Structure 1
Amino acid sequence: MAKSVLDGLPTRLPYYKQRSWVSITLSSMIAFATALWFLQPDIFSRVGTPPPRIRTHNEIRAPRENVWGDLTDKEVWGLQDFLYNGPNDLNLTPSINATGNKIYYTQALRPNKTDVLNYMSGSATGIPQKWAHVVINAGEHPHRTVDEYMVGPLPVDTTTEIIPLSYPYNSGRSSTVNLAPGQEAILAWSMSAIPELLDLLQDLLGDDITFDDPSNLHNIGVHGQAPKLESGRIISWCSLMGSGVVAEAPSLLIQGLYFKLDVSEADYLNWSIMKWMYNGIVYHSTEEFRKATKEAGFVKTPINRDGDWTLTEDFDSDVKERDIPPPVMVQSAPRYGLDRKQQYVSWMGFEFYIAHSQITGITLFDIKFQGEPIIYELGLQEAMAHYAGDDPMQGNQVFLDTFYNMGALMFELVPGYDCPAYASYLDTTWWREGKKAYNKNSICLFEFTADHPIQRHTASEYVSVSRNTYFIVRTVSTVGNYDYTIEYIFYLDGAIEVKIRASGFIFSSYWSTGRSPEYGFRIHDQVASSIHTHVLNFKADVDVGGTQNTLTRVGIEHAEIDYPWDALPPRNTMHLTRQVVTEEAGFNWPANTRETFFIGDNTSLNAWGQEKGYIVRPGTGMGSPVHLVIQNSTAISKAVEWASMDFWVTRQKDTEIKSGSPFNPQDIHNPLIDFSRFIDGENIEQKDLVIYFNLGGHHVPHSGDLPNTLSHTSASSMMFLPHNFHDRDPSRKTSTGVKLDLRNRNNTKYYGGRNKEDLLVKLEDVEPDMDAYSSGEKNVRKLLG
């Protein structure tokens, strides 16, 4: 029987509800493994056939094959047979239960842009060769590694070969250390250690606490940070937390008790607790801590109890207006096209392909507007949450969420709530440990009309108003305590917006009267908020009108200018400045939004002789996107160099395909990808350019973040706005609206489609049958149970 987790790789969210009492006991005790292992693929899998779909879009055929798509089932089966039985020295162990080298995951290695452009232009003889990206979990703790290979071409034939995958990594390596011990050893250590500590822990946390009953309101588990090297030893700080029985919110139930664990040895019986910290005092051994608890003057801190205060819903609200159904959007008829097989979308002049990765989620490719290229690649690279605090958990806590496979954590969307009921829904699949995993309805696509017009004007003789309709591609990744909503929004004028929102339970700290106010606010009895910064990095390989682009800073500056018509020179005024960015560089958004960044081909002009291009600038949300305040972070070092500024411009290279690796956290001082090395002084005038931009915000949670952070308070976005790209506003031809003649009531004119008869709206079109939502537990990685 397969294990319940993937041996040896860290995870942020350890506790899972198990069906056997033994599993419950083990998982509760070892929630510390949250930073130490990954889920097995079959717990992601969805059983059964997706339900029949109603017509929400027009079925179309893509102009060419989606060359960025994942591996087919046939390709994967042939690949696995080749890896296990072909001539190689991987020494793979087919059984997950056995020790040895094992396949962690396989996915498509996306083709080089150079090859794709040759294929799209017709200069290549066929589509680019298909290769696989294979990740191997190799060796045994403490000498474990994560090894990466490229295998191809596929399907397997006599030319297929296995090559270390090093070309995307400027470290020159295809392998990185894996500090995490095996899951079995962690469970075994917990079984042996917790009973010896039970009297001590019950003395501090109450006689009614348990460590083996997740259904008990007073059950306690352990959360551990990702292991780190310290003076040659592999250590992990751990925290005791409530299991979160009421609302699965253990991150709100910090108990203020921490211990430092040494997991360096291969034999778990040689592991040891190095230190304890309680009520701000550090004890250098369990014996010292136990002795201190018996001495006069020892102060016990209050217990942070679970309760209804963690619930996100109030079913008994006395606000009567809530009993009236809110307004909803309906779709009269589908106006966009979708090729499900090729994941190709067309809407109002836009066209693009969708590709999915179990690591980063979805990426959009070959985005065109009215036939002209705009962006070759647009998608998430990494999502970081960096904390600060005076305890050893928050003071050293950084999450890099692609490490936990954000694309595999895109669970089924709730129709009518996550997305309109009339949206089109797409499934996602991936391969983990030789098994196919499946999340149905995890991508939604829909058209929506805003609550404000895209344009309007009232004149003396007429009123003209156009509806502001846009198109959205949306996903939600649930990574432990946070749900990240990521969406790509397309507007009628050719504008593109990338937007993120975060909701879910904050990761709190234990309230003390010491330095807690320096890092947050008291928000419950023993709960303090914990300041942290979210920085989500995205890649936009911009091809505005083609691959030859230049980035220009366009500023609005104060000026003192003499004008021949002015009797009192000089005049204090403002003017535009233009400065071409000649080399790769990073930038922060200017104060007062007095500068924008224009990107385009400086040889391509519109009808008025102006350079055609797009403006890159912050969009809607809670102010400008942010970068990390901490300089040279002790906790994450060089693994997130992209987070030090708001955005970057680099020259496109087939060897610089992403800003980081999900395994960067394993070796923070010498990561597989050091983004700072992307910026090496190359000239970028009229070159193929890539913009790496950050979204996110500095989050200082307050009482309104309990129980959940609200998505409208945590929104951030970036916009790509056409600038002289068209000879006039293109939305004139695609928007719908009305022109009212103020002189003649009988001369009302409509442009575009409108509803001329009563709409018959079925209940299921606005309130879908929720019983059709996937039954069974969602296997979301939890901090603990």
Structure 2
Amino acid sequence: MKLTSTICSVLSTGALVSALPPIGYERRLFHEAINKRGINGSSSSCLTDAAPTTTAPKSNVWAPISAADNAAVWDLLHDPKSGLNLTHPSKAVLTDNYVWWMDALPVNKSDVLPYLDGEAPMPPKYARAILFEGGKDAPDSQEYMIGPLPVGPETSIEKLDYIYNGGNGGSVPFNARYFDGPRNKASDPLVASIMSNISDITAALFQGGVYHGSNDNRTNLVLTWGVPMSWDGTQAFRNVMLKFPGPANYLTPLDFYLLLDVTGTDASLYSMRGFVTGEKYYPTTEALRAAFVAGELAMEYDQTLDASWALVDHKPEMGVRDLEDRLAPSSLEIGGKRYRVDEENQYIEYMGWSFYMSFSRTLGIMFYDIKFKGERILYELSMQEAMAQYGGNQPKAAGTVYHDTYYQLGTEMSPLVEGFDCPWGSTFWNLSHSTNEKITTKTNSVCIFEADMNFPVSRHRYGADNAYGFDKLGTVKGSALTLRAIATVGNYDYMFDYVFHMDASFEIAVRASGYLQSSFYYPNQGKWGPRIQQATQGSLHDHIITFKGDFDIAGTKNSLQVSELKAVKQSQPWFPELGEFEQLELDVYNMKEEQQFNWAANNQAMYTIINTNSTNKWGTPRGYRIVPGKSDIHLSTLKSPFSLKNSEFAKSHLAVTQQHDNEVFANSVQNLNLPQKPQQDFSKFFDGESVDGEDLVVWFNLGMHHFTRSEDVPVTLYSEAYSSISFAPQNFFDRAQDGDILNRRWIEVDKAGNMTVQTYGVELETCAVRLSEPASHIGGTVVT
């Protein structure tokens, strides 16, 4: 019998501690292994070995713009010869023209494929920039494309209109553009004036809380406001809510709302629309003061001033669990890293998989040219939007819809903590984005690791006529490569996992942690969430995370096959006594036109992207199946005025369209404030085009209906707020992709009861783990 065992040693504060031996007869073999190899024999570190390198077959055509190109584009935009008349953002006011942000313009797929698959030159690179143009007669926001790069005599600045279908191209009305620092600064004097006039009221209601302006030392309250802030760009409103300050102020809201009209660039014309408190609307200061004098504004509950209960630290009052002073189990790459990287080109190879990674300031990490054993499965896999919509009976919750690309989700992908956010020994990569004329680098913001799946890829035992209970047993070890990033957008920490499995399937998972956006508690508001603290109520909401999957199964001529599982009436002549009875049957067909659609009831339909012109050995069209995971939902409110037309991508589980270079994004980063007249209307993608034998894009939604609970304090838990989806080969191969995996055990027992174990030469390694520097991959922010 050939059997080896692990000796995984941990060096911590100078002590050498061996792993516990296995039980039973394997324990004896464990000690034999120690005697043969020696505790100080050849061992490797589980943590310090870097991933082996490789060289990408082509340069990463999807890479972000470089620091040099970013600076050159910035200079070109600010050159007086450009005619854009730009002010530096740090000095800008409402009536100035200035750059909001810059990023790389996605390269057209039609230009990339000849480069990837042939000898065509690398397509030229372009930057994109959104300029806030308050100095125009009709102030707006306009997006531009700048290229080709690097900047030279051929480089031009042109309006970027072709990727938007709302009717105005890259232009967004001033009132619908992002509410940035200059807009906030312009409206703050009005807020200060109104709130100073009622400071006696707020002080009496909120334990001395007052607001006299953002720079006034007497101010001890903070402001937040809801979005959207416009319906169609013809007007702008700002619904302000008061909160106590502090790191957990999302959980300490106050029951007071100031409603403003902030239309246009002339702040002198801004005005008050009224107040809301106690679930009542007061259109004037006089009406509010009359209610206060009459004793109608008293708070039933005082909000807590000490928010230490809402911090994510150890709570001594809860005690310590038995044995919790020991380090929790960790996933270690004992045999060394089994993936190769080309960090310069952000390219990875793993167990037959290969793919490129890129990054966008709005979308975060994205993947391109995903192949298995040299065959492209997807051209692109990218998150398109992370939205949330709330419900409630006050202006903040009732009217809140978030599009997190509006807040630049990618720029909020921050450093990860080794051993806690990611396993010890993970590979960490940096992410960089433009910050005006410079590049900001968030170190260690992506982690890459292979982990034990804690279940085998496949397993079976045969026979049972001996003491062991089998004659033959085969089991194949399960492992997968994960790329992870976490974006902290305001109150939520979204964890994005892209997981590549040994069996040629891949998985996308999203988890949400962080602070609830909560509401002030009223006993009669239980329909929107429970009480979770002294004066705090959890606000009911949906999270919808939309993804784009541009599939190329054996080429670009794909179809979406539907296999409906039906119960049909039939009879069988060998069972005449049964007469007619129900029997399972498949109704298989291809979708004909672009459409949005939902998972079938009881999941009685399988959706597969296939290529009818490419079959496996058995004559079946090759494809990849869409496998629903946990919590694959769509938006609950389909006709809300706050998400009427700007969130169409979130209103179905799935959608399929024909690929077009001008349908790059499901959403626009400035769609949030345009619910009635969006810059990008996803519903216009569905214009009757064929999806049978065409280049297809599948759009799919993950998410959670967040039924808030007291266990959301201090923060929502990743273990429960979790959604996933998988894509698995469906007749893509001639057989399961596990036969070429050496990490397996084949065990046979002969008639005499002798056991042999085939290890295929894959032994269990000895490794040493040094945990003396737990902060080695926490990272930080670098601006260059």
Distance 1:692 1:212, change over 3 A: same
Alignment-mate amino acid for residue 289 of structure 1? L
Structure-1 separation of matches of 2:212 and 2:457: 57
2:730 is the counterpart of 1:734? no
Structure-2 separation of matches of 1:719 and 1:602: 22
CA-to-aligned-CA distance 1:628-665 (integer Å, 9 cap, x gap): 12122211221111111111000001111111111111
Q: CA deviation at 1:738?
A: 1.3
Equivalent residue for 2:286?
287
Equivalent residue for 2:546?
537
**RMSD (Å), alpha carbons:** 2.5
2:319 is the counterpart of 1:320? no
Equivalent residue for 2:701?
694
Structure-1 separation of matches of 2:662 and 2:297: 59
Structure-1 separation of matches of 2:779 and 2:623: 45
2:523 is the counterpart of 1:513? yes
Structure-2 separation of matches of 1:168 and 1:563: 57
SS in 2 for 1:712: coil
Equivalent residue for 2:375?
372
Structure-2 separation of matches of 1:115 and 1:200: 63
Structure-1 separation of matches of 2:723 and 2:89: 44
* Partner of residue 560 from structure 2, selected from 542, 551, 561: 551
Alignment-mate amino acid for residue 178 of structure 1? F
* Partner of residue 388 from structure 1, selected from 388, 391, 399: 391
Q: CA deviation at 1:379?
A: 0.7
Structure-2 separation of matches of 1:63 and 1:250: 49
Alignment-mate amino acid for residue 244 of structure 2? G
Structure-1 separation of matches of 2:673 and 2:279: 29
Structure-2 separation of matches of 1:113 and 1:231: 32
Structure-2 separation of matches of 1:672 and 1:210: 36
Structure-1 separation of matches of 2:326 and 2:735: 44
Equivalent residue for 1:238?
240
Alignment-mate amino acid for residue 509 of structure 1? S
Equivalent residue for 1:40?
none
Q: CA deviation at 1:76?
A: 2.1
Equivalent residue for 2:431?
428
Contact map agreement 2:191 2:213 (CA 8 A) in 1: no
SS in 2 for 1:185: helix
Structure-2 separation of matches of 1:95 and 1:242: 30
Q: CA deviation at 1:297?
A: 5.3
Structure-2 separation of matches of 1:225 and 1:664: 15
* Partner of residue 604 from structure 2, selected from 594, 616, 621: 594
Structure-2 separation of matches of 1:548 and 1:278: 58
2:686 is the counterpart of 1:679? yes
2:311 is the counterpart of 1:311? yes
Aligned length: 713
* Partner of residue 771 from structure 2, selected from 763, 777, 780: 763
Structure-1 separation of matches of 2:366 and 2:70: 21
Distance 1:234 1:105, change over 3 A: closer
Distance 1:297 1:338, change over 3 A: closer
Q: What are the within-5 Å matches in structure 2 for residues 285-684 of structure 1?
A: 285-296=284-295, 298-306=297-305, 307-316=307-316, 317-332=319-334, 333-460=336-463, 461-514=471-524, 516-568=525-577, 569-619=579-629, 621=630, 623=631, 625-684=632-691
CA-to-aligned-CA distance 1:394-445 (integer Å, 9 cap, x gap): 1100110000001100000111111112111110111122221110111111
Structure-1 separation of matches of 2:655 and 2:197: 53
Contact map agreement 1:188 1:268 (CA 8 A) in 2: no
Alignment-mate amino acid for residue 495 of structure 2? T
Task: State which drifts further: 299-308 or 706-715.
Answer: 299-308
Q: What are the within-5 Å matches in structure 2 for residues 68-147 of structure 1?
A: 68-85=62-79, 87-94=81-88, 96-99=90-93, 100-122=96-118, 124=120, 126-139=121-134, 144-147=139-142
Structure-2 separation of matches of 1:168 and 1:536: 21
- TM-score, L = length of structure 1: 0.87
SS in 1 for 2:73: helix
Distance 1:87 1:254, change over 3 A: same
SS in 1 for 2:516: coil
Task: State which drifts further: 730-739 or 151-160.
Answer: 730-739
Q: CA deviation at 1:68?
A: 0.4
SS in 2 for 1:446: strand
Q: Which consecutive unaligned segments of at least 5 residues does structure 2 have?
A: 1-46, 464-470
Distance 1:96 1:375, change over 3 A: same
- Structure 1 runs of 4+ aligned residues shifted over 6 Å read 208-214
Equivalent residue for 2:36?
none
Structure-1 separation of matches of 2:145 and 2:276: 46
SS in 1 for 2:767: coil
2:135 is the counterpart of 1:156? no
Equivalent residue for 1:33?
none
SS in 2 for 1:628: coil
SS in 1 for 2:726: strand
Equivalent residue for 1:263?
262
Structure-2 separation of matches of 1:320 and 1:209: 46
Structure-1 separation of matches of 2:72 and 2:210: 51
Q: CA deviation at 1:93?
A: 2.2
Q: CA deviation at 1:296?
A: 4.7
Q: CA deviation at 1:249?
A: 1.5
SS in 1 for 2:147: strand
Q: CA deviation at 1:254?
A: 1.3
Distance 1:296 1:448, change over 3 A: closer
Task: State which drifts further: 582-591 or 227-236.
Answer: 227-236
Structure-2 separation of matches of 1:617 and 1:267: 53
SS in 1 for 2:583: strand
CA-to-aligned-CA distance 1:59-81 (integer Å, 9 cap, x gap): 11101110000112222232223
Structure-2 separation of matches of 1:608 and 1:343: 37
Distance 1:207 1:93, change over 3 A: closer
2:72 is the counterpart of 1:64? no
Alignment-mate amino acid for residue 535 of structure 2? Q
Structure-2 separation of matches of 1:142 and 1:740: 80
SS in 1 for 2:87: coil
SS in 2 for 1:289: helix
Structure-2 separation of matches of 1:63 and 1:75: 24
Distance 1:155 1:251, change over 3 A: same
Q: Which consecutive unaligned segments of at least 5 residues does structure 1 have?
A: 1-52, 780-785
Alignment-mate amino acid for residue 309 of structure 1? W
Contact map agreement 1:469 1:735 (CA 8 A) in 2: no
Distance 1:742 1:315, change over 3 A: farther
Q: CA deviation at 1:299?
A: 3.6
Equivalent residue for 1:19?
none
Structure-1 separation of matches of 2:332 and 2:458: 22
Structure-1 separation of matches of 2:166 and 2:296: 54
Structure-2 separation of matches of 1:573 and 1:630: 37
Contact map agreement 2:448 2:483 (CA 8 A) in 1: yes
Alignment-mate amino acid for residue 147 of structure 1? Q
Structure-2 separation of matches of 1:196 and 1:341: 58
Alignment-mate amino acid for residue 604 of structure 1? S
Distance 1:298 1:335, change over 3 A: closer
Alignment-mate amino acid for residue 760 of structure 1? A
- TM-score, L = length of structure 2: 0.87
Contact map agreement 2:558 2:693 (CA 8 A) in 1: yes
Structure-2 separation of matches of 1:296 and 1:726: 75
Structure-2 separation of matches of 1:658 and 1:210: 41
Equivalent residue for 2:277?
278
CA-to-aligned-CA distance 1:323-369 (integer Å, 9 cap, x gap): 12211111121110000000000000000000000111011000000
